[in-house]
């Protein structure tokens, strides 16, 4: 069974409402949805923690060095024994994303199977962007009274609304408590949280205009994939071919790659999130056909991480 524990950083949201000047609207939204996505990730992954303990334990025994990513002193057995909530470096597989994304309502369709408590009066035809309901607690339709006209169209808003509707209140509170407990790990995270934002350019093959995305507002590959999906593929939402999960897994028509510090073109998802943040310079969505030489590398990396574990 794949190890599917995720690395979660709670990046304090709401630094300043303004966000970055260039690529402004996107990044501002991204910053502020950090915490909401966190809850989603926490909830999804927490379920998997229990079931994978035995496997993790076994692997940890072999581990001499941790990867040094926001883990305060990885002492294998002690950690497991306390049953405390700690973090593990993420090993991402396609299964990761499909598992957690399957439960997310497709933000652009009117899925009647998802219980959207606040929009019952708005009818099912409205997309999630239209029936954005406010977060945690208030759950009031149409408040504040900002009409469609004056809502800044942004990917992050769409992410928020789809997760909002999915998570019920008690779970949101529970998740929030958990993420707070994680705050005291890692100086690396502190280093990042000092920066207001960190945006990198994203270009897609075949599209003239590049975009910018704020990496600090994202806590996982999955979140990043969702943002990019909304940015570039929002009009194709009905197309199966470009679901965010498949974007990362490299099974769709497009592949997400990045250029690192050394100028090399790497496949996104290989390395743990924090390491990725440290080395990424810009992102590029390539057509799958251009990218074949990278595929073996992905597999190779995957193997390596699996044996060394964590």
Partner 1 sequence: MDLDQKRTRTVDRVVDSVDRDVESPESTPMCPFPDEVLEPVLSLINSHKDRSSVSLVCKDWYNAERWSRRHVFIGNCYSVSPEIVAGRFPKIRSVTLKGKPRFSDFNLVPEDWGADVYPWLIVLAKAYPFLEELRLKRMAVSDGSLEFLATNFPEFKALSLLSCDGFSTDGLKAIATYCRNLTELDIQENGIDDLGGDWLSCFPESLTSLQVLNFASLNSEVSFNALEKLVTRCKSLRVLKVNRNINLDQLQKLLLQAPQLTELGTGTFTQDLVTRPVADLETSFGNCKNLQTISGLWDTNSLYLSVIYPACASLTFLNLSCATLRSFELTMLLMHCKSLRRLWVLDTVGDRGLEAIGLWCPLLEELRVFPADPFEQEEVAGVTESGLVSVSRGCPKLHYVLYFCHQMTNAAVATVVQNCPGFTHFRLCIMNLGQPDYLTNEPMDEAFGAVVRSCPNLQRLAVSGLLTDLTFEYIGKYAKNLEILSVAFAGSSDLGLKYVLGGCPRLRKLEIRDCPFGNAALLSGLTKFESMRSLWMSACNLTMNGCRVLAKEMPRLNVEVMKDEDSEDSQAHKVYIYRTVAGPRRDAPPFVLTL
Binding site for partner 1 (CB under 8 A): 13-14, 16-19, 21-25, 28-29, 32, 35, 119-126, 130-138, 140-153, 157, 160, 201, 208-210, 235
CB nearer partner 1, residue 31 or residue 79: 31
Which whole-number Å values give the CA distances from 158 to 87, 109, 155, 163, 274, in the listed order? Answer: 28, 12, 5, 9, 25
In the bound complex, what is the minimum distance in angstroms from residue 163's beta carbon to partner 1? 12
In the bound complex, what is the minimum distance in angstroms from residue 307's beta carbon to partner 1? 41
CB nearer partner 1, residue 21 or residue 263: 21
| CA proximity to 252, closest of 241, 237, 236 | 241
In the bound complex, what is the minimum distance in angstroms from residue 205's beta carbon to partner 1? 15
| CA proximity to 109, closest of 231, 252, 237 | 237
CB nearer partner 1, residue 145 or residue 263: 145
> Do 248 and 268 form a contact (C-beta atoms < 8 A)?
yes
Pairing between strand 199-204 and 265-267? unpaired
CB nearer partner 1, residue 52 or residue 203: 203
DSSP 8-class letter at 158: H
In the bound complex, what is the minimum distance in angstroms from residue 137's beta carbon to partner 1? 7
The Cα 100–Cα 73 span in angstroms is 28
In the bound complex, what is the minimum distance in angstroms from residue 116's beta carbon to partner 1? 11
User: Cis peptide leading into 144, omega within 30 of 0?
Assistant: yes
The Cα 203–Cα 228 span in angstroms is 10
In the bound complex, what is the minimum distance in angstroms from residue 285's beta carbon to partner 1? 15
CB nearer partner 1, residue 102 or residue 208: 208
In the bound complex, what is the minimum distance in angstroms from residue 44's beta carbon to partner 1? 22
CB nearer partner 1, residue 4 or residue 154: 154
In the bound complex, what is the minimum distance in angstroms from residue 88's beta carbon to partner 1? 28
Coil vs helix vs strand at 182: helix
C-alpha neighbours within 13 Å on the C-beta side of residue 6:
28
User: Can you give the length of the chain in residues?
Assistant: 310
The Cα 235–Cα 233 span in angstroms is 5
Helices (H), the chain: 24-32, 34-62, 76-82, 94-102, 155-166, 169-181, 187-194, 221-233, 244-249, 273-279, 295-308
CB nearer partner 1, residue 22 or residue 288: 22
CB nearer partner 1, residue 4 or residue 33: 33
């Amino acid at each position: 069974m794949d190890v599917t524990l995720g690395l979660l950083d709670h990046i304090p949201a709401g630094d300043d409402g303004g966000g970055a000047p260039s690529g402004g609207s996107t990044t501002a939204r991204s910053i502020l949805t950090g915490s909401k996505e966190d809850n989603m990730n926490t909830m999804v992954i927490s379920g998997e923690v229990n079931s994978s303990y035995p496997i993790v334990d076994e692997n940890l025994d072999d581990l001499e060095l941790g990867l040094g990513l926001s883990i305060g002193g990885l002492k294998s057995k002690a950690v497991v024994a306390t049953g405390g909530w700690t973090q593990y470096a993420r090993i991402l597989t396609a299964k990761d994303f499909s598992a957690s994304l399957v439960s997310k309502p497709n933000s652009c369709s009117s899925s009647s199977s998802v219980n959207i408590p606040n929009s019952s009066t708005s009818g099912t035809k409205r997309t999630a962007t239209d029936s954005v309901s406010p977060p945690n607690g208030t759950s009031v339709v149409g408040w504040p009274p900002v009409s469609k006209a004056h809502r800044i169209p942004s990917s992050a808003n769409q992410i928020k609304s789809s997760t909002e509707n999915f998570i019920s209140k008690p779970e949101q509170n529970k998740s929030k408590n958990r993420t707070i407990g994680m705050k005291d790990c890692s100086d690396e995270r502190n280093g990042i949280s000092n920066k207001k934002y960190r945006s990198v350019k994203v270009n897609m093959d075949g599209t003239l205009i590049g975009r910018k995305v704020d990496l600090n507002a994202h806590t996982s590959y999955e979140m990043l994939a969702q943002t990019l999906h909304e940015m570039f593929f929002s009009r194709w939402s009905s197309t199966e071919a470009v679901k965010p999960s498949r974007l990362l897994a490299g099974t769709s028509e497009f592949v997400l790659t990045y250029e690192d510090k050394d100028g090399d073109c790497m496949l996104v998802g290989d390395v743990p999130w924090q390491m990725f943040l440290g080395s990424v310079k810009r992102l590029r969505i390539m057509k799958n056909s251009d990218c074949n030489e990278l595929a073996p590398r992905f597999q190779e990396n995957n193997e390596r991480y699996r044996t060394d574990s964590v």
